[in-house]
Amino acid sequence: YYFFQIKNFDVRNEKGESLGRIKDLIDIGPHQVLVIQGKKEILIPMVDLFVTSIDLKEKLVRVREPEYI
Q: What percentage of the chain carries pLDDT values higher than 70? A: 99
The single-letter DSSP state of residue 11 is: E
H runs (alpha helix) in the chain? 3-6
Of 4-8, 41-45, 50-54, 63-67, minimum mean pLDDT range: 63-67
The helix or strand, by DSSP H or E, that contains position 53, with its residue range, turns out to be strand 51-55
- Give φ, ψ of 6 to 5 degrees: -115, 0
With CA atoms as reference, report the closest residue to 62 among 3, 49, 31, 24: 49
Global pTM reads 0.90
